[in-house]
Amino acid sequence: MNKRRRDLFAASPLTFLMIVLTVVLSIFPLYYMVVIATRTNDTIGTTPPPLTPGSNLGDNLGRLLANENAAFMTGMINSAVISLTLTVSVVFFSTLAGFAFAKLRFVGRNKLMLSILVTMMVPAQLGVVPLYMMMAKLEWANHLQSVIIPFLVNGFGVFMMRQYVSQSVPDELIEAARVDGCNTFRTYWNVVLPALRPAIAVLALFTFMAQWNEFFWASLAMGDPSNPTVQISLQHLSTGYYNDYAQVFAGTMLSILPLLAVFVLFGRQIIGGIMEGALKA
């Protein structure tokens, strides 16, 4: 019986293999990028393609940082500011709203939630041109406000948090908090938020990633090449008449480092056993 119990939560060798394979496939393109970033530009497009890293990274990075058209460091800094700000605001407002929709009762709750869902279905390109016109009128175009303010809170975050709260925070917990004298905000802050830790980690990670990688709106609103986001800066590198892929991928490598850092930071939250999380009963 004991052996069976142990086996229940262990992974079979087959499962392990499958996961490893998945991870290898997931990482391969990134690895390929590293290969190109550390070689010279001519090695791309040879058959078979090169599969081992070279030694040109310093060279490629040098050209990247000297490239005035790309303003790469400015791009990195801008993106860092944008992503950090939005991560904080989105997590905060989404958990707040998600909590309200999931656990608080009020008139119009379901209809309002549905309306938020509907707003999520609006295609991204639909309002782009008028929104740009707004930015131009407010004189926010090419400034960070244009990529921050309209995105302080979004339906995705609210929806996600609502689902998590309804799934992971039992009603009894809320009621216990009330009985103990917490007002709504205290309930949210002291009871709900801790229970949401894995979900918050995921949302924070996703928001940071999404904002870091965001390109379409930024290319419109922050089109001035002297004040780009990191993705725009990469775009300027990679769509030139002269495709210096080695430089582009060196830049991409650099641009991924902050993401990886955030990843490591929040990844532990998701991964480190959350057994103690929700049901502190």
- 261 sits near other proteins (criterion: CB under 8 A): no
Q: In this structure, are residues 209 and 156 in contact, taking their beta carbons and an 8 Å threshold?
A: no
Question: Which of 2, 25, 55, 280 is in the footprint of other proteins by CB under 8 A?
Answer: 25
Q: Is 73 in the site for other proteins (CB under 8 A)?
A: no
Report, in Å, the least distance between residue 55 CB and other proteins. Answer: 19
Cβ pair 237, 244 in contact under 8 A: yes
Pick one of 66, 77, 167, 265: the residue that binds other proteins (CB under 8 A): 167
Q: What does each C-alpha distance from 62 to 56, 59, 66, 263 come to in angstroms?
A: 10, 5, 6, 27
Residue 159 contacts residue 150 (beta carbons within 8 Å): no
DSSP label of 12 = P
Structure tokens at 138: 């407010």
The CB-of-196 to other proteins minimum distance in angstroms stands at 10
Q: Is 218 in contact with 147 (CB distance < 8 Å)?
A: yes
> Which one, of 224, 100, 214, lies nearest residue 162 by Cα?
100
Using the rule CB under 8 A, is 53 a contact of other proteins? no
Between residue 89 and residue 108, which ones bind other proteins under the rule CB under 8 A?
A: 89, 92-93, 96-97, 99-101, 104-106
Whose Cβ is closer to other proteins: residue 59's or residue 93's? 93
Residue 65 found at the interface with other proteins (CB under 8 A): no
Q: How many residues lie near other proteins (CB under 8 A)? A: 148
For the chain, the first-to-last Cα distance in angstroms comes to 28
Chain residues 116-135 in contact with other proteins, contact rule CB under 8 A: 116-134
Angstrom distances, CA of residue 77 to CA of 67, 231, 256: 16, 12, 13
Q: Which of 2, 111, 179, 280 binds other proteins (CB under 8 A)?
A: 179
Return the residue matching tokens 């990075």. 61
- List binders of other proteins among 199-218 (CB under 8 A): 199, 201-202, 205-206, 209, 213, 215-216
Interaction between residue 57 and other proteins (CB under 8 A): no
Instruction: Candidates 23, 66, 73, 265: give the one binding other proteins (CB under 8 A).
Output: 23
Distance CA 230, CA 77 (A): 8
Residue 101 CB, nearest approach to other proteins (Å):
7
> Does residue 110 bind other proteins (CB under 8 A)?
no
Query: Residue 73 or 279: which CB sits closer to other proteins?
Result: 279
State yes or no: residue 191 binds other proteins (CB under 8 A). no
Total Cβ atoms within 10 A of residue 115: 12
Beta carbon nearer to other proteins, 62 or 139: 139
Options 34, 38, 41, 76; binder of other proteins; rule CB under 8 A: 41
- Tell me the CA distances in angstroms from 93 to 67, 85, 225, one per residue in order: 39, 12, 32
Does residue number 50 form part of the binding site for other proteins (CB under 8 A)?
no
Q: Closest Cα to residue 202, out of 100, 271, 280?
A: 271
Confirm or reject binding of residue 20 to other proteins (CB under 8 A): yes
- Interaction between residue 46 and other proteins (CB under 8 A): yes
